[in-house]
Amino acid sequence: MTKRILMLEDGNYFIGDAIGSEKETIGEVVFNTGMTGYQETITDPSYYGQIITFTYPLVGNYGVNRDDFESINPAVKGVVVREAAEFPSNWRNQMTLNEFLKEKGIPGIAGIDTRKLTKLIRKEGTLKGILAAETANKEELLHHLRSVRLPVDQVHEVSSAKAFASPGGGKRVVLVDYGVKSSILRELNKRNCYVTVVPYNTTAEEILAMHPDGVMLSNGPGDPKDVPEALEMIRGIQGKLPLFGICLGHQLFALANGADTFKLKFGHRGANHPVKELATGRVDFTAQNHGYAVEKESLIGTDLKVTHIELNDETVEGLAHKEYQAYTVQYHPEANPGPSDVNYLFDEFMEMMNGKEESEIHA
């Protein structure tokens, strides 16, 4: 099998077997701790520009199927695994991981020590990396890698270019697309919502002109401070319509209300993150994928209150507005991949659009 190198910006490198596309690629190297759900992870638009390291040692064992895509065209830059299964076994399987990566033009590397790589990222933080042919000159690779600036227009790249509708007979929801996962749309469709998906730079005036019953802010990639267009829109919407934000939508909601965000050392990416609801003490296991978080101290003096915290590092995982019907979560209630503990949040959003106050919903 052809050999490939993964070079990191700190000079460390790994040599393994080439899988997927033959092209060279550069991205931010991150790790995901989920034991399953590699197809949903690879196709999640929130991974735009990143090279994903899977900590679970065997990836691809149930193949790739037609049902578990979170986007049609994956935005991930590369995939790193300990072992890529060559003979998947599942009744829904349609192709191997290697075949899928080749079809989508995504390079990967297998057969390296992913445990060592993960420990390195945990110690140093996320690093730029390049996947290239093993024969490439290492010094030249490192110089090139260090000179490259990673993109800051991730949301622009993954957001829908034009608005489109997903019809239903129930509540009318405007879903602002910062890199939305298909599972979020599916959850709204399950509840018979008439969903209009709009681009990330849609204005408050344009949204209000659609006369929706509620607005949802989707997940997405990158630094929330790179999406200033969203802040004025959120300020123009909240207080007029029920608002629910997920992941990047949660961070943008915080910024729009005067709070601040910061970059985590190595982020939260996996399907096993414990989150505590402060009002009840309930702990749920959640799916997460983000590299930024809301700064807890920055919430002092704002109109926001913390509703949930991450039990591993006590970062902010949920917010609610003190006056308006607006709340957000850092994790993924649609849970693909991951546990479905917090799927009920979509039902609470429905109840909020039906005119119930927060105190009634949680009664």
Asked if 98 and 86 count as a contact pair (C-beta separation under 8 A), the reply is yes
Closest listed residue to residue 185, CA positions, set 166, 208, 205: 166
Candidates 273, 308, 332, 348; catalytic one:
332
DSSP codes of every residue in 197-219? EE-TT--HHHHHTT--SEEEE--
Is 332 a known active-site residue? Answer: yes
User: Residue 291 annotated as binding?
Assistant: yes
User: Residue 344 annotated as binding?
Assistant: no
User: Residue 13 annotated as binding?
Assistant: no
Rounded Cα distance, 56 and 42, in Å: 14
DSSP class of residue 297?
G
Residue matched to tokens 């075949």: 99
3-state DSSP assignment of residue 26: strand
What are the start-end ranges of the H helices in 105-247?
A: 114-124, 138-147, 154-158, 182-190, 204-208, 229-237
Candidates 40, 247, 250, 268; catalytic one:
247
Candidates 40, 310, 334, 348; catalytic one:
334
Rounded Cα distance, 199 and 87, in Å: 40
* Encoded tokens for 246: 């997920």
**Cα 90–93–97 angle (5° rounding)?**
110
User: Residue 292 annotated as binding?
Assistant: yes
Contacts of 143 by beta carbon, 8 Å cutoff, 6+ apart: none
User: Residue 330 annotated as binding?
Assistant: no
Is 334 a known active-site residue? Answer: yes
Is 273 a known active-site residue? Answer: no
User: Residue 39 annotated as binding?
Assistant: no
Q: List strands edge to edge, sheet with 261-277.
A: 164-166, 194-198, 172-176, 214-217, 243-246, 326-329, 316-321, 304-310, 261-277, 283-294
* Total residues found in the chain within this entry: 363
Q: Give one word for 63, left, alpha or beta, with left for phi > 0 and alpha for psi -120 to 50.
A: left
Indicate the annotated binding residues: 46, 220, 222, 248, 251, 289, 291-292
Residues known to be catalytic: 247, 332, 334
Indicate the annotated binding residues for L-glutamine: 46, 220, 222, 248, 251, 289, 291-292
